[in-house]
Amino acid sequence: MGALINPSILSADFANLERDLAAIRGADYAHVDVMDNHFVPNLTLGLPVVERLVQVSPVPVDAHLMIEDPDRWAPAFAEAGAASVTFHAEAASAPVRLARELRRHGARAGLALRPATPVEPFLDLLGEIDMLLVMTVEPGFGGQSFIEGTLPKIRRARAAIDASGLDVWVQVDGGVSRSTIERIADAGATVFVAGSAVYGADDVAAEIDVLRSMADGAHRH
């Protein structure tokens, strides 16, 4: 599978989300950051807005739920038509039950880890998920700088997934840009969320292509 580029609309213009979604029609998914001001110290948008974004987005929606009690709230995002729904391991009470419910609603199930959360306790759950999201900044805000110390975790996650033979995608989110994407791809990620790097570019469509080809061109060691 080639690299997937999922621009984060957290860096879009919230008064012009339909226009800014149209600008990323060449991307793979639209990454939508849902924050509740409890799991993270920021508040963005919720289910009613995501329902409409799913309807107008030219690409499937990748919902990243930075919320408490995802067991209660996440399934509704799958029912709303988000193609991928990712919840945080630190917040979920019953991650397997939740992942199964998301899949039952037809969504890909994603499990996210904060930068300081190790991957090893979750490796036994790989068969229950479609994607592992390794956060490469502390969740809550766009425009932060990439945490280099997360690279070994990406590498360990990739090695474990390869060893398992399962087709679990490794997504990275936070500080992805031209200056970091090759190292992240080299560590084994294949799905790249980029907010400020894409929406801050003069030519949004061209930036998506540049990031994708840099990731595809990076050598895995």
Ligand X SMILES: O=C(CO)[C@@H](O)[C@H](O)COP(=O)(O)O
Contact with Co ion (CB under 5 A) among 6, 36, 39, 64: 64
Query: Which one of the spans 37-45, 56-64, 90-98, 100-108 is the region binding Co ion (CB under 5 A)?
Result: 56-64
SS3 169: strand
Calculate the CA dihedral of residues 47, 3, 168, 51 and round it to 10 degrees: 10
- Give how far the C-alpha of residue 143 lies from the chain's centroid of Cα atoms, to the nearest Å: 15
Rounded to a whole number of angstroms, the minimum distance from the CB of residue 124 to Co ion is 25
Distance CA 75, CA 102 (A): 6
- Per-residue x/- mask for ligand X, residues 15 to 34, rule CB under 6 A? ----------------x-x-
What does 196 interact with, of ligand X, Co ion, none (CB < 5 to 8 A by kind)?
Answer: ligand X
88 counts as binding Co ion under rule CB under 5 A: no
Distance CA 198, CA 200 (A): 5
In contact, 192 and 6? CB cutoff 8 Å = yes
In contact, 66 and 89? CB cutoff 8 Å = no
Q: Is 62 a catalytic residue?
A: no
- Per-residue x/- mask for Co ion, residues 160 to 199, rule CB under 5 A? -------------x--------------------------
- Per-residue x/- mask for ligand X, residues 151 to 180, rule CB under 6 A? ----------------------xxxx----
SS3 2: coil
SS3 34: strand
Residue ranges binding ligand X (CB under 6 A): 8, 10-11, 31, 33, 64, 66, 137, 139-144, 173-176, 193-197
